[in-house]
């Protein structure tokens, strides 16, 4: 019974992580820049991204905890997502904001591309965990 509850919790939280990352990065951010003036969209993005990364850290850590008893490899993958998001939030986001503030377009493009690659790798990793869980 408890094994089934842990499995279900792992699947649900991992699916929340996967869907949340996908929706936010591919939907919300793009939507803001389509419907708002650039300055307003940037302001909202600056407010939203630190919270987005907290969501990723928290949900990945929780999914990792739940999956520890279900599938050790999934737990490690989810834990890696949580841990690697911390420097992304704490170091990369402020660097991206500073590059924007100082009109350093080339630096912004490099840092932003890095943040996109990190998020895409997290989405792929969470999807891989869902696939692993589906095959247990």
Query: How confident is the model at residue 30, as a pLDDT?
Result: 87
**pLDDT reported for residue 136:** 87
Ordered by start, the domain boundaries in the chain are 2-134
* Residue 106 pLDDT: 98
What's 102's DSSP letter?
T
Enter the pTM of the model.
0.94
Q: What is the 3-state secondary structure (H, E, C) of 48-86?
A: HHHHHHHHHHHHHHHHHHHHCCCCHHHHHHHHHHHHHHH
- Alpha carbon 125 to chain centroid, angstroms: 10
- Pick out the chain residues at pLDDT < 70: none
């Amino acid at each position: 019974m408890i094994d089934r509850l842990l499995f279900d919790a792992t699947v649900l939280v991992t699916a929340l992580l996967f869907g949340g990352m996908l929706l936010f990065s591919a939907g919300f951010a793009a939507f803001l820049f389509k419907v708002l003036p650039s300055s307003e969209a940037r302001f909202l993005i600056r407010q939203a991204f630190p919270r987005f990364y907290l969501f990723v850290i928290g949900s990945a850590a929780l999914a990792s905890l739940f999956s520890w008893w279900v599938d050790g490899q999934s737990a490690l993958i989810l834990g890696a997502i949580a841990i690697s998001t911390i420097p992304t939030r704490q170091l990369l986001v402020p660097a991206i904001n500073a590059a924007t503030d100082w009109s350093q377009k080339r630096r912004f493009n490099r840092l932003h591309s890095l943040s996109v690659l990190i998020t895409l790798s997290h989405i792929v990793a969470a999807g891989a965990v869902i696939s692993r869980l589906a095959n247990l």
